[in-house]
A and B are shown apart, each in its own frame.
Chain A
Amino acid sequence: MSAYTLDAKQLLCPLPVIRTQDRVATLKIGDVLTVYCTDPGALSDIPTWCRLHGHTMLSSKEDVDGVIELVLKVGSPIYHAQQ
C-alpha cells in the first residue's frame, strides 16, 4: 500500500472528480489517495464517485481557508466492464 496526494484546488466541479478518477486509474488496490480541493461540490461528488466505483472514503474535512481534504482508499471496482 502506498500513499499519494492530488492537488485539485481551484478546480471546479466536476474537474476534481475527473482528476481523482484519472489518478485512481494509475493506483493499486489498497493505495490511499489524499485529494485537496476548494470546490465544496467535491464534498459530495468525490464520495459519490467512490461509492459507484467501489472505493472507500476514509475521511473528509474542510479547513478554515476552505481547503477540503478527502482521503480515499482504492478498492476493486464493483462493476466490471468485461473486456
Chain B
Amino acid sequence: MAGQRNQGAVAFTSMPTRQTQPKAIALISGGLDSLLAAKVVKEQGVHVEGINYFTGFCVEGHTHAIRNRDRTRHKRNNALWSAEQLGIQLHIVDVIDAYKDVVINPKHGYGANLNPCLDCKSFMVTRAREWIEDNGFDFIVTGEVIGQRPMSQRRETLPVIANESGAEDRLLRPLCAQLLAPTLPERMGWVDREQLYAFNGRSRKPQMALAEQFGIKEYAQPAGGCCFLTDATYATKLRDLWASRGEKRYELDDIMLLKVGRHLRPRPHLKVIVARDAGETQYLRGYRKAYAHLLMTSHNGPMTLLEGEVHDGDAELAARIAARFGQGRAASDVQFDFVTAAGVARSLAVAPFKPEDIAPEWYV
C-alpha cells in the first residue's frame, strides 16, 4: 500500500501538459451527489467515465429482488442508471475480497454502525487512483460535500482521503471545490473553478436546485448511506456472525444471507434463517447445497437454513422454529426433510413452537 501511495505521489508531481481532451474517472454511487459531480465536470468538456465499486454491502436492489412484496418495484441499478443519464461508460468493479480488510480492520474506526466510511472512501479513491494511472486518465471526481456526512465528509477528513489514497490534488470534488484549495485540474485549466460549487453542510437543497438546473428530475434518495453497513439491524447481524465465529471474518454468502429472512440464534453455535415469503424461500433454495436445511413436507412453509454447527437435537429445534412460521403452525405435528450440508437427508416430525416458546433474545 505504501509503495502504491508513493507511486501515486511521484506520478502526480510530473504535471501532465496535454493539449487533448482531459479525462476523468468519476466515482458513481448511484446517488444524486455523484451524478451531479460527474455532470458538472462533463459539462466543462472533460471526457468522463464512471466507476462503481461493488463491496457486497451495497444496497442496490438486493432485497428488492428477493422479497415478494418488493417484486413489483422498479428494479434497476442506480449507478448504471446514473451513467445512462450522463451518457458515460460505467465500469463496475468487484472489490468484495479486497474490501474485507476495510470492514474488518478500519484504521479510522466505524461510524454509527459498522460503517467504516473514512477507510471506505480512502479505499475507493485509492482504487480509482490506480485505475487512472493504468488507463492514462488525468484526475478523479467524487460527489463529496463538506459537512454532508458526519464521518467521511468533514473538512478535516477530506484531505485524509486525498492523502491516504495517493490521489492528492488529482482528486476533484466539484460540489465543494470552491471551499477547498485549487486542485490539479483547476490549476491546469482543465476545469474552470468559477463553474464549480461551494456546497457545504447537510442540506440537500443546493443539490436539488442544481439537479433542477440540469433537468435531472428523477434520482435515487439514499436513506442514511450507500450501504448496509450503516443499517443498525444489519450491523447487529454482522456483529452476531463475528461473535459466533470468535473472529471478524466473512464470505460473500454470509453477508448476502444477512439481508434475507428472519435470523434466530437459539444456541451459541447455531443460527436458523427462516424465509419470510415465497420470494425468500426461492432465494434460500439456492444455498441448499452449501448449508444444512429444512424443507417442510406436510404443509406449505418457509425454506430454512441452519448456519453453524448442528449438534444432536438441533435439527428438531430448528424445525420447531420453522414450523411456527409455516401453514402448519396450529397442527400437532409438522413434517420436514432435514438435509445436512453434506447432503445426507432424513425425515423428522415436530410440534411447532408457540410464539411464547421462541425467546425474544433468539432474534438477531
Q: B-contacting residues of A (Cβ < 8 Å)?
A: 9-10, 12-15, 17-18, 21-22, 38-41, 43-45, 48-49, 51-53, 66, 77-79, 81-83
Contact = CB atoms under 8 A, between A and B. Distances in A.
Q: Is chain A's binding surface mostly helix, strand, loop or mixed?
A: loop
Nearest to B83: A52
Contacts of A13: 60-62, 65, 75, 77
Given A48-B77, A52-B89, A40 B65 contact: yes
Contacts of A81: 23, 47, 49, 89, 135-137
B76 interface: yes
A28 B152 CA distance: 42
Most buried by B among A15, A78, A83: A15
21 contacts: A12-B61, A12-B256, A14-B54, A14-B79, A14-B80, A15-B94, A17-B77, A18-B54, A18-B92, A21-B91, A40-B65, A41-B60, A41-B77, A44-B77, A48-B76, A49-B80, A49-B90, A52-B84, A81-B49, A81-B135, A82-B136
B245 interface: no
B219 interface: no
A9 B61 CA distance: 16
Interface size class, chain B: 35 or more
A22 B52 CA distance: 14
Nearest to A13: B61
Interface in B202-228: none
B246 interface: no
Interface in B17-65: 20, 23, 47, 49, 52, 54, 58, 60-62, 64-65
